[in-house]
Amino acid sequence: MRAFFGQLSSLANEYLSVSKLVVVLLVAGLTTVAYRQGMLDPFENVTLDQRFKMRAQQFTHPKIVLVEIAEDSINSIGRWPWNREWHATLVKALSAFGAKAIAFDVLFSEPSVPETDALFAQTISKAGNVYLPVAFNETHGVTGAGMAESIPSLRDAIRGEGHITIVPDRDGLLRRIKPRYMHEGKGYLQLGLKMAIDLYGVKEKDLVYKENVLEVPIPNNPVLKIPLTQEGDILLNWAGNWKQSFFHVSFIDVVVSYAQHLKGQKPRLPPDIFDDAICIVGVTATGLFDIRSIPLEPAYPAVGVNATVLNSVLERNFLSVTNDKVNLAILWIYAVIIFLVTLRLSYLQSTILIVTLAAAHAVLALLLFAFGNIVLNIVYPLFQILASFISLSTYHQIVITLEKRRLMKLATKDSMTGLFNIGHFKLLLNAELRSIKLRRNKDLSVIMVDVDFFKFKTRTKLHEPKILFVGNFKWLQDREAVMALFTSIWPKIAQKLPQAKLWIVGRFPSPEILHFRSDRVEVSDDIEDIRLAYEKSDVLLAPIYGPGGTRYKILEAMASGLPVVTTPQGIEGLEVEDGREALICKSSADLAAATIKLLTDTRLYHKLVGAGNRFVRNKFNWSKIAADLDQVYEEVAHEK
């Protein structure tokens, strides 16, 4: 048998390396297709969200000030929308306090009172640093024809305008934004980006759009490169939660502070906080503002998007996404590594190294995000690693199993006839017997059933079921069993199943046994082929209570497709589970009830037939016995 395993190893290793390479390339190809189609992008987004939550609070530009139209302002001024005189007053206040730029995240798309509209426009024009928004109708990349903007009188007075269009991902979370929209031949930068390039003194026409990058040529400074995703979006680099990032003031506090300043009183807010400030005004009152879900929190005012973009440009703090070339290169490099590892190392060593590789990649991705603002894919590489390893391990086991079966078949069957070579098993048994003689303290128990001798028969109709008992009445336990069957079990079955018949098959029946013959009870002592009994019966009932024997009748019945009802003693040593391969009962009443249930429950009947047949053919066929004996030889050899 050592030669057998040696031959197995040499044959398997000859083509395992090539076939493993094919498996790895196939998995890598499928992963590449999944990457190109974005099949795992939702899971990749989840890992990105977790990286945001694990990262420390980011620094924000100290001059960015968010002016909130919150509940306190609504309570003080009144119901929204307000008279535009209030907005004019805010612009006057911020200008008087030295604000460098003022942006409204509020659309003034409908005319109001002409006098107040004129006052607001005049104030905006005088300030010379006010920005207003535009908005486009878009859903997942499809831009509608409409564009919302402020009334012409206000637009004519502003310093600039930028879009505030927000399109969340399909899971509802906001992670990216378009740097520019084109409408009727004119470009509209994102509002925060528009403010930033104006502050840098860069004209919009000087911006350079390249593959995955937007270049901003800042005078007397290095070119600012804004990373873009494959779709041309800016990946939003959230600084933190709404309340924890940027400097927040209340609209009403600014207006009151301005009034106090004009009266010579101490302002509620120190005016110097607005000196050279970049102010963004937006509605944040509950029920009025545009709520968005972001990776850090489920309710985030949309006005914060403008501040986030502005902060990233001013601080040169962007998220950079690894491009397709890098991502695909990583997938294929990992495929090669896994192939080499599984080819040269044991299964345990391969598992340890591959788990280490997966963990190292995940840690690397977290570190690159936390300290380098680099977004490296996590899900696709881990999928590649896991899928390759599982596929290779599964394929390896399948190849070894098939080759083992093939060589075992060659060793145990005649190549011409396909019949089992009994000489092979005689050789095995003789070797084992010699081993036992040398080691007298080692027990030997060999159970072999020629399962190929018994043909499986499918039974579909149980209208006149025949219950079979098989025994040799020279043995006491068989005589006791059949008497228990006659006196305590069969009467109960006969009463419940009037069409049922009992068939007793066995040599040397006593007169006492023959006495029970009737039109419903048959006793046969001269059957030539036991297979006929199994073929013509519907269930084997074996109420064995005595010890001893190899339980051949149980295994033969299962091999013939006959379900079995017996006692724990009747099936002892066969590792059969009650309710799965057979019905096992202790008392006569339970044996009768189990038999009746089996013959009246078609589903249970076929379940036991299939499970019992699989059990005996898997555990007691010639190939399995040979393998078990071979294991015995190896154990004996190691003990010598």
Cβ contact 196:313 at 8 Å: yes
Question: Is residue 202 domain-resident?
Answer: no
Residues 172 and 311 in one domain: yes
Distance, CA of 188 to CA of 155 (rounded, Å): 14
Residues 303 and 348 in one domain: no
Cβ contact 149:137 at 8 Å: no
Residues 340 and 310 in one domain: no
Q: At what angle do helices 2-37 and 379-412 cross, to 10 degrees?
A: 150
Confidence of residue 6 (pLDDT cuts 50, 70, 90): very low
Bridge partner list, 323: none
Closest CA to 268 of 281, 285, 249: 249
pLDDT of residue 546: 77
Do the bridges between strand 247-250 and strand 64-69 make them parallel or antiparallel, or are there none, so unpaired? parallel
Residues 131 and 15 in one domain: no
C-alpha to C-alpha distances, 211 to 222, 226, 230, 232, 482, nearest whole angstrom: 19, 11, 8, 8, 89
Q: Is 365 exposed, middle or buried (0-12, 13-18, 19+ CB in 10 A)?
A: buried
Tokens in use for 207? Answer: 């911006």
Residues 530 and 609 in one domain: yes
The kind and range of the H/E element at 306 are: helix 303-315
Q: Is residue 410 pLDDT above 70, yes or no?
A: no
Assign 3-class secondary structure to 93-136.
Answer: HHHHCCCCEEEECCCCCCCCCHHHHHHHHHHHHHHCCEEEEEEE
Cβ contact 273:247 at 8 Å: yes
Q: Domain boundary residue among 338, 373, 405?
A: 405
Q: Domain boundary residue among 289, 315, 341?
A: 315
Question: Is residue 563 domain-resident?
Answer: yes
pLDDT of residue 452: 58
Read off φ and ψ for residue 136, nearest 5 degrees: -115, 155
Distance, CA of 199 to CA of 617 (rounded, Å): 83
Residue type, 264: G
Residues 330 and 303 in one domain: no
Q: Is residue 43 pLDDT above 90, yes or no?
A: yes
Read off φ and ψ for residue 501, nearest 5 degrees: -130, 155
Eight-state DSSP code of residue 271: G
Distance, CA of 326 to CA of 328 (rounded, Å): 6
The kind and range of the H/E element at 505 are: strand 501-507
Instruction: Residue 595: give its domain's CATH number.
Output: 3.40.50.2000
pLDDT of residue 8: 40
Question: Is residue 385 domain-resident?
Answer: yes
Residue 603: domain span:
451-619
Question: Is residue 491 domain-resident?
Answer: yes
Question: Is residue 488 domain-resident?
Answer: yes
Distance, CA of 324 to CA of 337 (rounded, Å): 20
Confidence of residue 406 (pLDDT cuts 50, 70, 90): low
Closest CA to 562 of 521, 534, 533: 534
Distance, CA of 63 to CA of 199 (rounded, Å): 12
Task: Give the three-state DSSP class for 624.
Answer: helix
pLDDT of residue 530: 87
Residues 44 and 65 in one domain: no
Confidence of residue 187 (pLDDT cuts 50, 70, 90): very high
Task: Give the three-state DSSP class for 202.
Answer: coil
Do the bridges between strand 180-183 and strand 539-542 make them parallel or antiparallel, or are there none, so unpaired? unpaired
Per residue in 264-308, pLDDT (tens digit) is: 999 999 999 999 999 999 999 887 767 889 999 999 999 999 999
Arithmetic mean of pLDDT, 353-369: 95
Tokens in use for 495? Answer: 């009463």
Range with the lowest mean pLDDT among 78-82, 407-411, 452-456?
A: 407-411
Question: Is residue 98 domain-resident?
Answer: yes
Distance, CA of 474 to CA of 110 (rounded, Å): 108
pLDDT of residue 184: 87
Residues 277 and 333 in one domain: no
Residues 504 and 610 in one domain: yes
- Which residues 6+ apart lie within 8 Å of 47 measured at CB? 365, 378, 379
Confidence of residue 438 (pLDDT cuts 50, 70, 90): low
User: Sign of the C-alpha dihedral, residues 122, 124, 127, 129?
Assistant: negative
User: Sign of the C-alpha dihedral, residues 246, 249, 251, 257?
Assistant: negative
Top-confidence residue, 630 or 488: 488
Eight-state DSSP code of residue 574: S
Per residue in 527-567, pLDDT (tens digit) is: 888 888 988 999 999 999 877 555 778 888 998 899 999 99
Do the bridges between strand 564-566 and strand 539-542 make them parallel or antiparallel, or are there none, so unpaired? parallel
Q: Is residue 9 pLDDT above 50, yes or no?
A: no
Q: What's the number of domains the chain is made of?
A: 3
Task: Give the three-state DSSP class for 330.
Answer: helix
**Cis previous bond, 114, omega within 30:** no
Burial 466-483 (b: 16+ CB within 10 A, else e): bbbbbbebeeebbbebbe
Top-confidence residue, 49 or 20: 49
Count the residues in the chain: 640
Question: Is residue 433 domain-resident?
Answer: no
pLDDT of residue 616: 86
Q: At what angle do helices 622-639 and 379-412 cross, to 10 degrees?
A: 100
Eight-state DSSP code of residue 486: I
Range with the lowest mean pLDDT among 161-175, 363-377, 435-449?
A: 435-449
Residues 94 and 180 in one domain: yes
Q: Taking every pair of C-alpha atoms in the chain, what is the biggest distance, in angstroms?
A: 130
Residues 329 and 309 in one domain: no
Per residue in 239-264, pLDDT (tens digit) is: 999 998 999 999 999 999 999 999 99
Distance, CA of 190 to CA of 154 (rounded, Å): 19
Bridge partner list, 250: 68
Q: Domain boundary residue among 350, 382, 405?
A: 405
Question: Is residue 72 domain-resident?
Answer: yes
Range with the lowest mean pLDDT among 325-334, 404-413, 507-516, 568-577?
A: 404-413
Q: Which residue has the tokens 């059969």?
A: 576
Range with the lowest mean pLDDT among 91-100, 186-195, 413-422, 551-560?
A: 413-422
Q: Is residue 428 pLDDT above 70, yes or no?
A: no
Residues 33 and 145 in one domain: no
Q: Is residue 634 pLDDT above 60, yes or no?
A: no
Closest CA to 281 of 137, 135, 131: 131
